[in-house]
Structure 1
Amino acid sequence: MAAKRDRTHYLYIAVIAAVLLGIGVGFAAPGMAVELKPLGTGFVNLIKMMISPVIFCTIVLGIGSVRKAAKVGAVGGLALGYFMVMSTVALAIGLLVGNLLEPGSGLQLTEAARSAGEAQAKAGGAESTPEFLLGIIPTTMVSAFTGGEVLQTLLVALLCGFALQAMGAAGEPVLRGIGHVQKLVFRVLAMIMWAAPVGAFGAIAAVVGATGIDALKSLAVIMIGFYTTCLLFVFLVLGTLLRVCTGVSIFALLRYLGREFLLILSTSSSESALPRLIAKMEHLGVSRPVTGITVPTGYSFNLDGTAIYLTMASLFVAEAMGTPLALGEQISLLLFMVIASKGAAGVTGAGLATLADGLQSHRPELVDGVGLIVGIDRFMSEARALTNFAGNAVATVLIGTWTKEFDRDRAAEVLAGRVPFDEKTLVDDGHGTEPVEADTAATTAADPAAVPVPAHNPKDGVPV
């Protein structure tokens, strides 16, 4: 077992080395560095390829094992309510810090920046609410997997899970088969992770080469202010909420997810860590139904980092253009942007497009100012993705606690390092049972498909 942990340990050391090397190449040879972008794009695409199968298997196995359908509805409703509240809190914090800093004052809009802002506005095209809702429905059940749409996959998985739940004993063979598929999917994902150093090198080199040191210097105020605001939100707001409601330390949770944060930092996309977050939340002690519903839904609706970014970026552009927004304008504009951003799951460029769309619809004269932050948006995207990811991890633990689907004893063992995560298979080893003594835990670790409902009481689906 120790040898297996050492191998993955070396893998992430290689990722750190690749990131540092990429930064060096970006500064030393920016022209060549930009040409390395396909390496990063290719790696992220490989990860995205696995998202739909992971979500499908997790949700179907989870819901198919729960005996009360109302429990799934309660989880979803509670999650959406929580996401709305936290998005509002994130907006409020961004407004407060943005108005205090006034980061855009003193900047001059160049013709090049004006052209970049116009290009972003044309490339945006935010969906209306009806279009967004209809977009959740796939053309066919299969197209949900081929289209790469998280919410479409979530819908199909929910329907299949409820259908298997209604089938009762007749659905057990299907659940066992999906359990085997899940093992295959996670094993493929573990193989893909060995390409992470190459992807990290290409992604970081390209963004550093394209941005350059001059842009970073001139826009340091907005960057530092945004990163500081995200840190305050994660450690003060989310950390306090997590400690009060669950007793879990935010520092322990983030340390447990350290490799996922490194992956996001090197690829600038929180989607690259979505499959691993699902696996790690199950391993931590959150039940499959809660994990399977909260994580994918949170990737579309719980965008705390994006909310903070849209707030501060809007104030920044307005200040830089010499037409500051009144408080009423700030609130109406930002509420529109947060709603418009739903469904854009932490992908590079999504926040910038939403910013341009929001300004175009509310204050068209400010759209040109978006070009001021085009150069550093990729660096701000890092903080957006990291904050969104931390918010979804905390949300999963909170929802699990409030629905009594979170095993605190299990979490304490995992966070203390006594029950290590299996980096080779990435498959949950049967949380809800005693981690050291229970025979069922060992059985499930060896073959999760052999015990389709290892962690749930057959009467009500609550963790034992």
Structure 2
Amino acid sequence: MAFGESGPATPIKRTPFYAQLYVQVLTAIVAGGLIGHFAPETGVALKPLGDGFIRLVKMIIAPVIFLTIVTGIAGMRNLGSVGRVAGKAFAYFLFFSTIALIVGLIVANVVQPGAGMNIDPATLETGAVDDYVKKAKDQTIVSFLLGIIPETVAGAFVDGNLLQVLFLAISFGIALSTAGEAARPVVRLFEALGAGFFRLVAIFMRAAPIGAFGAFAFTIGKYGIGSIANLAALVVTFYLTSLLFVIVVLGLVARGAGFSIFTLIRYLKAELLLVLGTSSSESALPSLMDKMERAGCPRKIVGLVVPTGYSFNLDGTNIYMTLAALFIAQATGITLSLGDQLLLLGVAMLSSKGAAGVTGAGFITLAATLSIVPSVPIAGMALILGIDRFMSECRALTNFIGNAVATIVVSRWEKAINEDQFAAVFTHHKFGPDTALPGPEADPD
């Protein structure tokens, strides 16, 4: 069946547990962790396995997003719904991103993980964070907005900039839709290409255990579990806060949208384990888009919300920013007034927009925030650089779940959910295959 064609549901085949992707990824993470712990040099040497897998996935992200959005918009009868969907998505992003920032701020004030450390910022070695600070200063609002427009059509794909691909895809999808029947051959060609790329996603995802094995072995081998001992309070606080946000805040949102957050997590277990192993939510982006369509969300909404959310709906990153900023202030003995904290919140709201869902983006965004807020010494970032990799995993997981919830909620607001597919996943728990396959049902709009 061609990409974008509707048709009878494919029967779900039961596969042995050892052949399921999430079992293979979990096994690979455990094996990688053991090698990284007991043979650190070998673990570090396995880094190319993780890097290679992430490159494979990033190679196909741009065409998958482009083809999904173009074919979705080109088949729409009402182009006004594009702006409506985008408006609802951004309203959702802004509200819950702010909630995440506030949650991080409240938890930092209540738990105070950095209190009592009494560290003099002048004694900190800041050379390791200088590169992050430089990158942060290069990110201005004007440069970010201009960066959405690619210099050439091919440039969007060459650079792999998700927002540029999104901009180009929406523009071209609208152009094809307004061209009418004359553009149908191009749309059919893109549908066929889409089927091929989704099959390619399925093929590449079979290498996910290898990528997770190499990436996790490197993380443990390079940084070691012991590196978090001195800063365990911050790590534990961040993980528990993120878990609380997912279960309580996103859980209530999910219930209001007619599904269970725990069922969603179970549905996405293979992707979540992959994100955990690679510390990057981008590694599972194509598979998330496929899973959301299989759950009944229309392609035009999946194509708009998921890639846009990867830059604008970063709940985990937002919790991390306010929590880490106050940790640094507490550790260096700086008392922030309510006004200082509100300023920090406002700056974080702006600087968090446009951070990509890749390893290290949260640290760069934190540097951008602290460089504008003079009350918190930016040198204090050296305190958390060593454990940032471990917190990166939690940021990526929380961001990933937040974008899955956002996609379903916006689809609900649009009354565009395929109720049969939705019930199959969230009521009858018929999850189907772990990897992306072509042939999700077409958007009826």
Establish whether TM, by shorter chain, passes 0.5: yes
- Name the stretch that deviates more: 353-362 or 256-265: 353-362
Structure 2 residue 85 is the aligned partner of structure 1 residue 75: yes
User: TM-score scaled to structure 1, two decimals?
Assistant: 0.89
Amino acid at match of 2:73: I
Structure 2 residue 335 is the aligned partner of structure 1 residue 330: no
Of structures 1 and 2, the one with the larger relative CO (CA 8 A, separation 6+) is 2
Determine helix, strand or coil for the equivalent of 2:221.
helix
Structure 2 residue 166 is the aligned partner of structure 1 residue 140: no
Structure 2 residue 105 is the aligned partner of structure 1 residue 95: yes
* Map of 2:4 onto structure 1: none
Instruction: Evaluate the alpha carbon distance shift between residue 90 and residue 166 of structure 1 in structure 2; reply closer, same or farther with a 3 A threshold.
Output: same
CA separation in 2, counterparts of 1:392 and 1:102?
Answer: 29
The Cα of 1:380 is off from its aligned counterpart by: 0.5
* Map of 1:427 onto structure 2: 438
Which of the residues 34, 56, 61 maps onto 2:44?
34
CA separation in 1, counterparts of 2:46 and 2:266?
Answer: 30
| Cα RMSD (Å) | 2.0
CA separation in 2, counterparts of 1:389 and 1:147?
Answer: 22
Which of the residues 244, 260, 273 maps onto 1:232?
244
Determine helix, strand or coil for the equivalent of 2:216.
helix
CA separation in 2, counterparts of 1:239 and 1:53?
Answer: 32
Which of the residues 281, 284, 292 maps onto 2:292?
281
The Cα of 1:321 is off from its aligned counterpart by: 0.9
**Contact kept? 1:47, 1:192, Cα under 8 Å:** yes
Instruction: Evaluate the alpha carbon distance shift between residue 373 and residue 396 of structure 1 in structure 2; reply closer, same or farther with a 3 A threshold.
Output: same
**Contact kept? 1:52, 1:150, Cα under 8 Å:** yes
Which of the residues 370, 378, 381 maps onto 1:367?
378
Structure 2 residue 196 is the aligned partner of structure 1 residue 184: yes
Structure 1 spans left out of the alignment, 5+ residues:
431-453
**Contact kept? 2:355, 2:365, Cα under 8 Å:** no
CA separation in 2, counterparts of 1:213 and 1:344?
Answer: 27
- Name the stretch that deviates more: 32-41 or 49-58: 32-41
Q: How does 1:149-188 map to 2 (within 5 A)?
A: 149-188=161-200
Deviation per CA, 1:307-350: give whole Å up to 9, x if none: 10001000000111111322221221232233223222221111
CA separation in 2, counterparts of 1:279 and 1:55?
Answer: 11
**Contact kept? 2:18, 2:24, Cα under 8 Å:** no
Deviation per CA, 1:250-304: give whole Å up to 9, x if none: 1111111111101100000011111111111111111111111111111110011
CA separation in 2, counterparts of 1:15 and 1:45?
Answer: 18
Determine helix, strand or coil for the equivalent of 2:377.
helix
* Map of 2:6 onto structure 1: none
Amino acid at match of 2:330: E
* Map of 1:441 onto structure 2: none
CA separation in 2, counterparts of 1:215 and 1:41?
Answer: 23
* Map of 1:125 onto structure 2: 137
Amino acid at match of 1:405: A
Deviation per CA, 1:345-375: give whole Å up to 9, x if none: 2211111112122212222761111011111
**Contact kept? 1:117, 1:372, Cα under 8 Å:** no
CA separation in 2, counterparts of 1:145 and 1:188?
Answer: 17
CA separation in 2, counterparts of 1:113 and 1:421?
Answer: 51
Amino acid at match of 2:409: L
The Cα of 1:224 is off from its aligned counterpart by: 0.7
CA separation in 2, counterparts of 1:366 and 1:33?
Answer: 34
CA separation in 1, counterparts of 2:326 and 2:418?
Answer: 43
Amino acid at match of 2:159: G
Amino acid at match of 1:273: A
* Map of 1:218 onto structure 2: 230
Structure 2 residue 303 is the aligned partner of structure 1 residue 259: no
Instruction: Evaluate the alpha carbon distance shift between residue 118 and residue 177 of structure 1 in structure 2; reply closer, same or farther with a 3 A threshold.
Output: closer
**Contact kept? 1:87, 1:307, Cα under 8 Å:** yes
**Contact kept? 2:25, 2:270, Cα under 8 Å:** no
Amino acid at match of 2:401: A
- Percent same amino acid at aligned positions? 46
Determine helix, strand or coil for the equivalent of 1:427.
coil
**Contact kept? 2:119, 2:333, Cα under 8 Å:** no
* Map of 2:5 onto structure 1: none
The Cα of 1:146 is off from its aligned counterpart by: 1.2
**Contact kept? 1:5, 1:423, Cα under 8 Å:** no
* Map of 1:437 onto structure 2: none
The Cα of 1:205 is off from its aligned counterpart by: 1.2
CA separation in 1, counterparts of 2:12 and 2:440?
Answer: 17
Determine helix, strand or coil for the equivalent of 1:124.
helix
The Cα of 1:196 is off from its aligned counterpart by: 1.4
User: TM-score scaled to structure 2, two decimals?
Assistant: 0.92
* Map of 1:438 onto structure 2: none
* Map of 2:318 onto structure 1: 307
**Contact kept? 1:270, 1:345, Cα under 8 Å:** no
* Map of 2:73 onto structure 1: 63
CA separation in 2, counterparts of 1:213 and 1:293?
Answer: 38
CA separation in 1, counterparts of 2:373 and 2:184?
Answer: 53
Determine helix, strand or coil for the equivalent of 2:354.
coil
CA separation in 1, counterparts of 2:18 and 2:302?
Answer: 24
Deviation per CA, 1:153-207: give whole Å up to 9, x if none: 0011101110111112222221111111011111111111122122111111111
Determine helix, strand or coil for the equivalent of 2:72.
helix
* Map of 2:354 onto structure 1: 343
Structure 2 residue 210 is the aligned partner of structure 1 residue 198: yes
Determine helix, strand or coil for the equivalent of 1:162.
helix
Which of the residues 45, 55, 66 maps onto 2:55?
45
* Map of 1:17 onto structure 2: 27
Instruction: Evaluate the alpha carbon distance shift between residue 77 and residue 34 of structure 1 in structure 2; reply closer, same or farther with a 3 A threshold.
Output: same
* Map of 1:443 onto structure 2: none
CA separation in 1, counterparts of 2:18 and 2:164?
Answer: 33
Amino acid at match of 2:352: S
CA separation in 1, counterparts of 2:194 and 2:377?
Answer: 48
Structure 2 spans left out of the alignment, 5+ residues:
1-10
CA separation in 1, counterparts of 2:21 and 2:416?
Answer: 33
**Contact kept? 2:254, 2:405, Cα under 8 Å:** yes
